[in-house]
Structure 1
């Protein structure tokens, strides 16, 4: 794998972070997460088993523009 298949993008100006998953040679937007709970719900809906276990694993999740688990406005 060349990069993590799940990307949590930088926080927006109003808070929250866009979440995308790379599959089938393209990125799919899962939604905007405002907390770890939102992120876990999105990943479960996308078919990720035990998403809580991969949130801090850089092989699975790339956090961009702000540290992991920070969702406040930029």
Structure 2
């Protein structure tokens, strides 16, 4: 895998982060639980253990697991 298929984008000015998988927007997350739910809806049942795996998830802009307004 050359790049992580899941991207958690930078925090928005209003709070939350967009989450995408292979270029498709999955939703706006306000917590890790939201990200996990989006990924489970795509069929990744063990999504909670993937959040800190850089082969699966790329956290862009800001700290990982941080969702407050930029």
**TM-score range relative to shorter protein:** over 0.9
| Local SS of the residue matching 2:9 | strand
Partner of residue 69, structure 2? 73
- Unaligned ranges ≥5, structure 2: none
The Cα of 1:40 is off from its aligned counterpart by: 0.6
The Cα of 1:49 is off from its aligned counterpart by: 2.2
| Local SS of the residue matching 2:51 | coil
CA distance in 1, matches of 2:7, 2:50: 12
Partner of residue 46, structure 2? 50
**How many residue pairs align between the two structures?**
70
CA distance in 1, matches of 2:35, 2:14: 17
Within a 5 Å distance, the mapping from 1:21-60 to structure 2 comes to 21-22=21-22, 27-60=23-56
Partner of residue 62, structure 1? 58
Partner of residue 9, structure 1? 9
- Unaligned ranges ≥5, structure 1: none
